[in-house]
Structure 1
Amino acid sequence: MQPVTVTLAHPLDFATWRAMTRVLVARHVPPQAITWQVAAQAGAASQPPPPAPDLPGFSILRETLRLAATTFQSMLPDRAALAYGLIYAHATGIQPDPANLERMEAAATQVRAETDELRRTLLALMQPGTTQHATFPARTYAPECNARFITLQLSLAPWQLSLPGRMLRWTGDTLLHGPHAPLHPLAPSTLPPPALPLVTDLDISQITSLRAVALAARSCLICPMARHATQTVFGEGEPTARMMFVGEQPGDREDQAGRPFVGPAGQLFDRALAEADIGRADVYVTNTVKHFKFIRRGTRRIHEKAGHEEVTACAPWLAAERHLIRPRVLVMLGATAASALLGRSVTIGHTRSRPIPMEDGSTGVVTVHPSYLLRLPGEDARAREYARFVDDLRLAASHLPAPAP
């Protein structure tokens, strides 16, 4: 077979490696026919040919691809070839070379250990706040692959990490990398994923940027529900909002849109806010649980009540939202939200429509979730309960302090 040369844009160009591997394995190009090299100038990477429609596809176990991606973060000079050989072996049904597999597993162990060490010592190396500069004795490329972790943990503030023979810097909007000045932009999308899940070691309570918390939550896989939902649905609104509304969880429409309170219940909620003279732009809306929990019935996805496991898993995200926004009034929409925020079992009928002093100095108000109003039978019942809901919103707004003159 004719030899093939693949050029990576930089030593950690996992995106090009993965795209070329997908094509070359489908074409049954054996590992020994491929030469992997790094471009002399950043950005001059190989472009994979379009996939031939007559070539069969193939699938690889998640654990296998994870081993390849983690090996790619090592300093082994032939790591791209080793990773390709592993994928080729699994795709073609042959036995991976035992010696190569042993080298990969040892390299992956080192990368995971260094990832863990970097994350454990990060806050000691760099305190959140002003531009931070630290030194880390890396023996792998784990720091580069954890640049997003570092950036989120430091609340998107600029930082710089000196590594053996190279420098890694986040300017506040661009990741730079290189052995010496001038450093060159390094696209995070080209890097292999970190060896440990992004949110596993994040100290969410130390993040001082609401945007950083929201970005981190997008990668959350703490509970099984996150693996079935389309995406994380984080809160939405002004960071300076004086009122926070907390529901149970996103619904089907919210799961698709990635925004809270945009479905039928959200539209009713908007109408009630307007009648209560509360501008949606003046409030922050979120949910106790950030993913849609559902059961399938044919092609439909039916809402399923969030349980203790999901509420507990999402608690750090909700706590971070409350801590960063510091609302003066906290409105709990439904029993799930009220129970989570009050720390006890709540019956709406016994707790509704009265001010509740909260531990952070805010005033809490419990009311029904807007979706409850949609489920009521009969127009009279819906009109009566809707009017009561609007009254609850007015009660909540009445506990806002008067604006400063």
Structure 2
Amino acid sequence: MQQTTVTLAHPLDFATWRAMTRALVARHVPPAAITWQVAPDGTQTSPPPAPSDAPGFSIPRETMRLAAATIQSTLADRFALAYGLIYAHATATTPDPADLERIEAAAAAVRAETEELRRNLLALMQPGATREATFPARTHAPESNARFITLQLSLAPWRLSLPGRMLHWTGETLLYGPADPLRPLALNTLPPPALPLVTDLDIGQITSLRAAYLAARTCLICPMARHATQTVFGEGEPTARMMFVGEQPGDREDQAGRPFVGPAGQLFDRALAEAGIDRADAYVTNTVKHFKFIRRGTRRIHEKAGREEIAACAPWLAAERRIIRPRVLVMLGATAASALLGRSVTIGHERSRPIPMEDGSTGVVTVHPSYLLRLPDADARTREYDRFVADLRLAASHLPPATP
């Protein structure tokens, strides 16, 4: 049997393992014909092209997660075990029972250590110029949780000493190695952690808007997130003095990954300009960060967000408010107003008046710009648009004078 040697760049090089596995399984290379090794100098094998006539294959998500968790173990043959698991599924054969038992035990240990690290992270990483800690790792789970650690600590530098190795996030680059000098380690080469990124993430501890944005991009807390194209987080400067909160992204926003870029967003931008509000002084976001819709043929029709979706997204909206600390909070529509005021809101009763908020800001309730687009006749649209602009001017009038 001809042997194939695969050289990985580092002990957690999941990216190369996955690419090589896809190519080698497509060529029907059995596990016994592959030797997996790690390069001491960081080089790796380029995957051979799959045969042009090779049938495609798909692997269940849970199976791939089990393989990724196995690679985070310290088993000497972990890459071979993970490959054998994928090969068995792709060829509809039965994995070796002894190997499967070892795989499941390794994955359980990785999951347990992931939970332990996340549970104790904030206590371990005491605040300081560079947060440092020692963790008695028995697996490679800490490496796979480097992104989690980085986001939980708001992108600030940190250093984690592990048995025989060290992880160091400089604020821009992840470094890794058994001793100085440490080498850069690309986050996108690591296996995904055994738990979803946002599981156990203390969103209330995040102080960086960019860290909150990056974490929210992976959020799958509510079922709605699994159907949307992507998370649509807020947009604007962290120093913005006004925050505008709508209900949820629409179809255009879901595709673009940005809030208020569809027809309602274009109308909103025009109204902001007429009200004399500098777009750089405005942070725009939504109560719910994913597009909820029902399908009608090829169209995706907006469906109102429910209480569960609003509650699931509440920590992200709270983080935006806490980090930005707007002086004026404009609630666009009843969904946003009800979520932020903590009670049922009727626009007609609350509109066009200042509302003291619990964080010291001034709240103003008005309609959502999409309401203006739904009005039946031109006179009504003109009248209500002028009233909307007047609400925005009222909100802006509660800003303190800008400091030079």
TM-score between both structures, scaled by the size of structure 2? 0.99
Deviations along 1:307-343, whole A, 9 cap, x unmatched?
Answer: 1111000000000000011111000000110010000
Structure 1 equivalent of residue 320 of structure 2:
321
Whether contact under 8 Å (1:276, 1:390) holds in the other structure is yes
TM alignment of 1:170-185, pairs within 5 A: 170-185=169-184
Structure 2 equivalent of residue 38 of structure 1:
38
The CA deviation at 1:230 is 1.1
The CA deviation at 1:403 is 2.7
The question of 1:53 aligning with 2:52 is answered yes
Aligned residue for 2:239, secondary structure, equals coil
Identity in percent: 84
Structure 2 equivalent of residue 62 of structure 1:
61
The CA deviation at 1:144 is 0.4
Structure 1 equivalent of residue 264 of structure 2:
265
Amino acid at match of 1:16: T
Structure 2 equivalent of residue 26 of structure 1:
26
The CA deviation at 1:40 is 2.2
Structure 1 equivalent of residue 153 of structure 2:
154
Amino acid at match of 1:122: L
Aligned residue for 2:331, secondary structure, equals strand
CA distance in 2, matches of 1:258, 1:287: 12
CA distance in 2, matches of 1:20, 1:269: 49
CA distance in 2, matches of 1:403, 1:54: 66
The CA deviation at 1:371 is 0.6
The CA deviation at 1:74 is 0.2
CA distance in 2, matches of 1:21, 1:95: 18
CA distance in 1, matches of 2:174, 2:185: 6
Whether contact under 8 Å (2:26, 2:51) holds in the other structure is no
TM alignment of 1:109-258, pairs within 5 A: 109-128=108-127, 130-258=129-257
Amino acid at match of 1:41: D
The CA deviation at 1:124 is 0.5
The CA deviation at 1:53 is 2.3
Aligned residue for 2:5, secondary structure, equals strand
Aligned residue for 2:277, secondary structure, equals coil
TM alignment of 1:324-335, pairs within 5 A: 324-335=323-334
Amino acid at match of 2:320: E
The question of 1:310 aligning with 2:309 is answered yes
The CA deviation at 1:129 is 5.2
Structure 2 equivalent of residue 16 of structure 1:
16
Structure 2 equivalent of residue 360 of structure 1:
359
Structure 2 equivalent of residue 90 of structure 1:
89
CA distance in 1, matches of 2:54, 2:362: 63
CA distance in 1, matches of 2:196, 2:128: 24
Deviations along 1:58-84, whole A, 9 cap, x unmatched?
Answer: 011111111000011000000000000
Number of matched pairs: 404
Structure 2: stretches of 5+ with no match in the other structure: none
CA distance in 2, matches of 1:18, 1:339: 46
95-104 or 120-129, which moves further after superposition? 120-129
The CA deviation at 1:302 is 1.0
Structure 2 equivalent of residue 372 of structure 1:
371
CA distance in 1, matches of 2:226, 2:343: 28
The CA deviation at 1:52 is 2.5
TM alignment of 1:269-284, pairs within 5 A: 269-284=268-283
Structure 1 equivalent of residue 2 of structure 2:
2
TM-score between both structures, scaled by the size of structure 1? 0.98
The CA deviation at 1:135 is 0.4
CA distance in 1, matches of 2:118, 2:366: 41
Deviations along 1:256-277, whole A, 9 cap, x unmatched?
Answer: 1111111110000000000000
Deviations along 1:131-166, whole A, 9 cap, x unmatched?
Answer: 111100000000000001111111111110000000
Whether contact under 8 Å (2:4, 2:34) holds in the other structure is yes
CA distance in 2, matches of 1:53, 1:280: 52
Whether contact under 8 Å (2:24, 2:50) holds in the other structure is no
The CA deviation at 1:128 is 4.4
Whether contact under 8 Å (1:74, 1:140) holds in the other structure is yes
Amino acid at match of 2:157: P
CA distance in 2, matches of 1:403, 1:383: 31
Amino acid at match of 2:231: T
Deviations along 1:263-292, whole A, 9 cap, x unmatched?
Answer: 110000000000000011111000001111
Whether contact under 8 Å (1:128, 1:157) holds in the other structure is no
Whether contact under 8 Å (1:242, 1:327) holds in the other structure is yes
CA distance in 2, matches of 1:404, 1:70: 52
129-138 or 66-75, which moves further after superposition? 129-138
The question of 1:390 aligning with 2:389 is answered yes
Amino acid at match of 1:35: T
Structure 1: stretches of 5+ with no match in the other structure: none
CA distance in 1, matches of 2:236, 2:339: 21
Whether contact under 8 Å (1:223, 1:310) holds in the other structure is yes
Whether contact under 8 Å (1:247, 1:337) holds in the other structure is yes
Whether contact under 8 Å (2:221, 2:312) holds in the other structure is yes
The CA deviation at 1:47 is 0.6
CA distance in 2, matches of 1:78, 1:321: 45
Aligned residue for 1:301, secondary structure, equals strand
